[in-house]
Structure 1
């Protein structure tokens, strides 16, 4: 869709390169401005969007909300003066927010960024959402695709034409939503004519904050021993906040996770308030049908205080964590899983001592130490790279019950690093880790069955494993499910 002539504020414009496409229309550069882009609706969508966009422009939301939100700025028409779309701030050089909260993507797209950067960027995102609320709008569909971030931690909100706004007579609803960000009281409801509130936004906001600060974990993702296949939407509907310290829940958080006790007290209370069902207590208001959740403005304050109290780990200076925590959670997670979310670069003597202690623990048949030592030999971290030694230590760890070792053996056989590729053995080890609820193992099995890697292609099996991974908050599994099934 690229008609010959369009007008912006009565002046002709020339379309440039296409920047993006969606179900409702396309976004283009315009040659007359390096700082603006235009969204042109598809012909069958334009008429139904016209009055809402005109009202947004009249209200000067772009000015009121500021540079962190790409609100409509002016109306685009055709030669006859008919509504076609709108202009907005052009956003280039930014990345979707999931590239930051997914640990694998963060290492690639934001190398050398530590936890301070995550807290800083999270605060900027929350500021952007607070500015939308201050301008009198409700976002409605807060999710990872509508938030972009720069490599220095700036944030901008896009897809603003879907935001809910009221003109005094009529509410222009946000008609869409993503299950994992939808508040418990709205789960299972049709959102087409549902009037959203800031309180609904604040549930989704808290989920997003948990994703960012919790290494891509969803706050309601976990295993319910009574119903291991319970879907995420049902977990949310039943207020099963997996990490709660104040309410009995049946969910068990994924292994080697950042826990609620690792956050400052104010952040803990805020998460409890955002994800709880109680009508009184912290942030509670009497008689509410849903908990009154912390606002975006309050979260800005909490995160600002957290940023000031982060301290560096004595063992690994790249580990930053809350000063209220008794010990470094990143070191704990590394000991539990062999995964170091923020690298390992301590002083040489400390590194040598750590290696000696690790070898001693491994020779004492400690499965976590065996797994960690195997990964060191596999990666050549502090020792000479040795695939055979890596394989031997991981086998010992797996024999002694390490799920992380099962998963990593699956990776080694899948890739064929130093021991020869063997898809059947990869599947065997992934299945063992998947039985214990490992999201990465479930995801890898989903990929293997989808691709037919050494096994007959089976889309039903692929979807099953991807759903299990997605229930644990696995970002890539969610993306694969949404695009393929």
Structure 2
């Protein structure tokens, strides 16, 4: 038997509850039968007079801007006997938990069209919502990703507003809860009861949310500690150990592997991040305000440009490469869902006529092989070299004749030692011969050969590279290969579809495990801080959990690894393969996107083929004209230097 709905009223009269929308740890949310834009939240526990007074005070502060940015309390709800039981608030439809946006894995499913510009815009709108709250004199206090929701248009709504700190005149209603991974250093480890929060405290949590959005779900204090012992996120926050900062090495921290560096943002944004997490930030007003973030984030979005390789990638225009391409190549993870541009290709829309395009490519004449260089081997020695050679030969002949005469005289004087004089004479003649080849007059000729040889080799290397037809023929072969790939695309799609059919059970299992996230799971010993650390090391779902991955995460020893593996095993035990299901439509769509992207790139390359080949051909012919006089002159100089050295 269905339990009857509670009867409640607001300050204007009776409120008729409708369908149950959701149940949380604090209360239950219902539709209101005759008010489509409002909902009722009824608390599980009795509502204190302090809480009731707070809700009424917040309702008195409502304005159009607050109501557009937050599920702000509209009125106090009471039971028929006048007892406070809940509150009336705007209905938030079409918005999802911000965690689903900044996590790359869930973003593909929940926000498939989101690129980095969308993340920047969402961050700016989150800052706008914080600014609106602060303008009322209120403080959010319990900043966390469960209190911020984002739509597919990047609009932001804050929820759970009844936990905010509210100040009106001398009356102050405190926020006495908080999530450690979003709590500033000065409040880490403290009990929140009796603590007065400030906008500067909120600004720390806001910076965490913005960092999550801009840096692919990473926590700024989740890094590798280079000192002894474990370093939890909470402890790292308390000790200002910002893992991505300019002073991270001073604090013995380094970011996890394969993460976006802080330099992917503009210098202005990087400066705000450093300020938000610096030690000086504990001083009231030193952290960037929500309004500061809005201005610089709006400018950041204007500075982005599209990647030439991947249409789904946008990044800051001042960078010399796309950081997302590098990260995806390094990790194999897809950070943003792929988008195919529909712009016409080179003025041709639809499928190109491959035969016609190839005919234009084949019509480009080849530059042919590089012309043969002259043969300089018959170069005659110079007069100077010939004269020097004659002089050296004459001097050597005189030396030999003198030595021989001396040996003959000595042999006549002492015939018994004839053998000794002959052997000694041969050694002396050998020394004279060697000495005659090392004269200083030949040094300049040897140096001339070395210099000429070096210059010629440099020019010859340029000639072989720039004057050869190798680049032309290589590019032509590449175009031929691309034409064959284009014609084979239907067969390629067929083969890859067959692979998907064979892998249906594996892919069903993967999708099942990817859908179960670690963040909301209850796993012994693994709280919000450790979950944030896991996410910073790309472990977000049951699919990501493996011993090999967990052992790389700081603070996860054998005990916690066992708990995570046990949780995954329990989750996986619920998987059932459905043989009646065909290939997942999402896999087919991904396959078709890949094939369409390949087709687009191949067609564009072939369309550009004639122009590219013409440019290569013209460059080769121009280089031949430019290099030929220089290399011919260098060849003559080298041949002359060699002939002269040989002559002496």
TM-score, normalised on structure 1?
A: 0.71
1:96 is matched with 97
Matched, 1:78 2:97: no
Secondary structure of residue in 2 paired with 1:67 = helix
Residue 444 of structure 1 and its aligned partner are, at CA, apart by 8.9
Structure 1 residues 110 and 383 mapped into 2: Cα distance closer, same or farther (>3 Å)? farther
CA distance in 1, matches of 2:494, 2:271: 40
Whole-Å Cα distance in 2 between the matches of residues 295 and 29 of structure 1?
36
SS for the counterpart of 1:104 is: helix
Work out whether residues 66 and 131 of structure 1, in 8 Å CA contact, stay in contact via their aligned partners in 2: no
Residue 337 in structure 1 maps to residue 454 in structure 2: no
Q: 1:392-431 CA distances to partner (integer Å, 9 max, x unpaired)? A: xxxxxxxxxxxxxxxxxxx99x969xxxxxxxxx99x933
Partners of 1:42 and 1:447 in 2: how far apart?
Answer: 32
Q: Which whole-Å CA distance do the structure 1 matches of 2:564 and 2:157 have between them?
A: 32
The alignment status of 1:164 with 2:165, answered yes or no, reads yes
Separation (CA, whole Å) in 1 of partners of 2:71 and 2:551: 44
Kindly state the Cα deviation for residue 228 of structure 1 after the two structures are TM-superposed: 5.7
Other structure's SS at 1:77 match: strand
CA spacing shift, 1:382–1:131, aligned 2, 3 Å: farther
Residue 95 of structure 1 aligns to a residue whose secondary structure is: strand
Picking from 33, 41, 45, the partner of 2:43 is 41
The equivalent of 1:5 in structure 2 is 7
Deviations 1:424-471 (A, max 9, x none): xx99x9333433339999999754322546999xxxxxxxxxxxxxxx
Q: How many Å apart are 1:46 and its aligned residue? A: 4.2
Determine which structure has more spread, i.e. the larger CA radius of gyration. Answer: 2
Q: 3-state SS of the aligned residue for 1:40?
A: strand
Cα distance between partner residues in 2 of 1:121 and 1:289: 28
Q: Given the alignment of the two structures, is residue 251 of structure 1 paired with residue 253 of structure 2, yes or no?
A: yes
1:290 Cα offset (Å):
6.1
The one of the two structures with greater contact order (alpha-carbon pairs below 8 A, sep at least 6) is 2
Displacement of 1:128 in angstroms is 1.0
Match of 1:400 in 2: none
Within 2, Cα distance between the matches of 1:382 and 1:214? Answer: 37
The alpha carbon displacement at 1:69 in A equals 1.1
Shift of the 455–83 alpha-carbon distance from structure 1 to 2, 3 Å rule, reads closer
Q: Partner of 2:298: helix, strand, or coil?
A: helix
Q: CA deviation at 1:100?
A: 0.5
User: 2: CA distance between counterparts of 1:20 and 1:334?
Assistant: 37
Counterpart of 1:450 in structure 2 is 567
Aligned residues: 385
Shift of 1:167: 2.6
Q: Distance in 2 between matches of 1:439 and 1:115?
A: 31
Q: 1:452 to 1:62 in 2, by over 3 A?
A: same
2:298 aligns with 304
What is the rounded CA distance, in whole Å, between the counterparts of 1:347 and 1:298 in structure 2?
35
Inter-partner Cα distance in structure 2 for 1:135 and 1:128: 11
Residue 474 of structure 2 corresponds to none
User: CA shift at 1:9, angstroms?
Assistant: 2.4
* SS of structure 2 residue aligned to 1:204: helix
Contact 2:220 2:242 in 1 (8 A): yes
Matches of 2:276 and 2:497 in 1, distance apart?
46
**What are structure 1's unaligned runs of at least 5 residues?**
280-287, 350-379, 388-410, 417-425, 457-485
Contact 1:317 1:345 in 2 (8 A): yes
Contact 1:270 1:294 in 2 (8 A): yes
In structure 1, the residue matched to 2:126 is 125
Partner of residue 24 from structure 1, selected from 26, 33, 42? 26
Show CA shifts across 1:169-225 (max 9, x none). 232111110011000110000012110000000000000000011111000001102
Change (3 A) 1:234 1:441: closer
Which residue is equivalent to 1:237? 238
In structure 2, the residue matched to 1:55 is: 57
Give 1:2 shift. 6.5
Matched, 1:293 2:311: no
* DSSP-derived class of the 1:292 partner: coil
| Deviation for aligned residue 1:106 | 0.4
Q: Does 1:430 align with 2:541?
A: no
- Output one character per residue of 1:99-135: Cα deviation in whole Å (capped at 9) or x when no partner: 1011111001111321111111221121111111111
Tell me the distance in 1 between the aligned counterparts of 2:278 and 2:68: 33
Judge conservation of contact 1:38–1:85 (CA < 8 Å) in 2: yes
Classify 1:256/1:66 alpha carbon distance in 2 versus 1 (closer, same or farther; 3 Å): same
- RMSD, matched Cα: 3.6
Q: Secondary structure at the match of 2:69?
A: coil
When residues 32 and 437 of structure 1 are mapped into structure 2, their CA distance, relative to the original with a 3 A threshold, is same
Q: Distance in 2 between matches of 1:454 and 1:57?
A: 43
Distance in 2 separating the partners of 1:7 and 1:148? 28
| 1:155 alignment partner in structure 2 | 156
* 1:358-404 Cα shifts (integer Å, max 9, x gaps): xxxxxxxxxxxxxxxxxxxxxx99994898xxxxxxxxxxxxxxxxx
Q: 1:63-84: per-residue Cα shift (whole Å, max 9, x none)?
A: 4524111111122222233322
Secondary structure of 2:202's partner?
helix
Distance 1:219 1:194 in 2: 25
Provide the residue aligned with 1:468 in structure 2.
none
Check the 8 A contact 1:277/1:291 in 2, yes or no: no
- Per-residue deviation, 1:346: 7.6
Mind listing any 5+ residue stretches in structure 2 that lack a counterpart? 346-491, 500-505, 512-541, 574-648
SS of the residue 1:249 aligns to: coil
Bigger fraction of residues in helix:
2
Is structure 2 residue 205 aligned with structure 1 residue 204? yes
* Aligned mates of 1:382, 1:185 — CA distance in 2: 60
User: Could you tell me how far 1:265 is from its partner in structure 2?
Assistant: 0.3
TM-score, with length taken from structure 2: 0.54
**Residue 165 of structure 1 contacts residue 171 of structure 1 at CA under 8 Å; is this kept in 2?**
yes
The CA distance in 1 between the partners of 2:494 and 2:150, in whole Å, is 34
Partner of 2:533: none
Contact 2:546 2:565 in 1 (8 A): no
Task: Choose which of 314, 318, 334 in structure 2 pairs with 1:320.
Answer: 314
Paired residues for 1:383-402 under 5 Å:
384=496
Q: Who is 1:185 aligned against?
A: 186
Q: 1:144 to 1:455 in 2, by over 3 A?
A: closer
Match of 1:215 in 2: 216
